[in-house]
Amino acid sequence: MPRARSRLSRRTATTVTGEGIVLTRARAEVVAGWARRGLGPLVVVPAQGWTLVSPGGRPKARYPYDDAVRTLAGRPVSYRMRPALGFFRVGKQAVVTLHAKRRLAPTRWMIWTPRDGLVTPKGLPVARPADVVRAAGSDSPEVLARVEEIVGDVGAGAPEILAALLGVLDLPGLDVLTGRAVAADLPEARLIVPADRYARAFDKIVRERRLDQDDDRTE
């Protein structure tokens, strides 16, 4: 089957070559406190009224949680950081995570896949385009219509989708995602390296859960 032509590829040559970012309105000091309790190094930097978080190195947890991008995408943010949005390229997929302004609210996912557009993530709460637009601080019907148009482009690639979303939502971080800038080199950037005990404690919890699951299967 021939690939559908992409409206985005005709409009822009900007593509994403980086990994992923989280954006929150919380102060950098609040975000740094959250980063210190993580599994691996993170870069925290103020960016145009937001605080940007980017992977700063490989997590210290065991496989499969040693993937910096997937680990950041799957980690819930603290209540003081909400609402927050994450933008990630995971393989050929463009992934947007939404952390709503509710205590203990689960992470919600908007996942775009080539040729299919938006897909429903199995076993994960779904974020709608309208939810993402509101979390970005907009109530404009025009912006929502543009976001729906972007994620409806089944002929684009994940890099084009992410770049277009950041642009229409007027969010910072595009230079980091496109590789034109390194988060650690930006003004006021801080590299936060958590103590090893957080990764060890996490690995212990994962190991115990797996043992429990093995016991359940053998009963």
Report the predicted TM-score, pTM, of the whole model to 2 decimal places: 0.87
SS3 95: strand
CA neighbours within 13 Å on the CB side: how many for 143? 19
Which range marks the domain in which residue 144 is found?
7-218
pLDDT band, very low/low/confident/very high, at 214 (cuts 50, 70, 90): low
For residue 205, tell me if it sits in a domain: yes
Q: Which of 12-16, 57-61, 117-121 has the highest mean pLDDT?
A: 117-121
For residue 1, tell me if it sits in a domain: no
For residue 99, tell me if it sits in a domain: yes
Considering its fold, how many domains does the chain have in total? Answer: 1
For residue 85, tell me if it sits in a domain: yes
Q: Is the peptide bond before 159 cis (omega within 30 degrees of 0)?
A: no
Strand locations in the chain (E): 20-24, 42-47, 50-55, 84-90, 93-99, 108-113, 117-119, 190-192
For residue 2, tell me if it sits in a domain: no
For residue 128, tell me if it sits in a domain: yes
For residue 118, tell me if it sits in a domain: yes
pLDDT in tens, 170-187: 999 999 988 889 999 999
The answer on pLDDT for 24 being more than 80 is yes
SS3 content of the chain, % helix, strand, coil (to 5): 40, 20, 40
For residue 186, tell me if it sits in a domain: yes
